[in-house]
A and B are shown apart, each in its own frame.
Chain A
Amino acid sequence: MTDLRLLLLSPADNVFVLREAVGEGETLVIDDRAVTLPHRLDRGHKIARRAIAPGEKILKYGAPIGSATAPIAVGEHVHIHNIKSDYTATHVIERKQEEPAQ
């Protein structure tokens, strides 16, 4: 079984989307396997559905949304630290200490 907090948008996808925020140290179940989150993740973030090799396409909505830049394990957070756009680079700003992530 797979955790109800994980949303699979297309059967072809190699990522799930979090329906709700999941706290640090909490456990998610993916295909009967328990994965513990090393840090809190907000609603809408992506979790690997299976192991993904560097260079492999990330599939969401059944469509490629970028490529892996590092090996990604099942249950790992899939985001800008381990995937990149195949079109234009993603721009982020470093968050200031006094403004916590929501």
Chain B
Amino acid sequence: MAQLTVGTRLRSAVCETEVMVVGAPEGDVELTCGGAPMIGIDEQPPEGGSVDPAAAEGTAVGKRYTNDAGDIEVLCTKAGEGSLGLGGEILGQKDAKALPSSD
């Protein structure tokens, strides 16, 4: 459990997923990926971990993920096989409004 701050980068302990926090709730929370707590971007994942089949929909690079309450938002910077989760809830992909290129 930790207070997340905008700009923090985390990696999955059980797949290739990497994320950056874009919006964070107040207070300590535990972000998971593939069912396991995420770890710091510079930490080594423990050996032998595997993706929980209940959290294995995968992540896509460049997509943003959020919960129903909308108080957390992360950007996937590297894709993996696990799904992101917070407090048992699987985070959903946030649809961005398509904008025309302007510069």
Asked if chains A and B come from one complex, the reply is: no
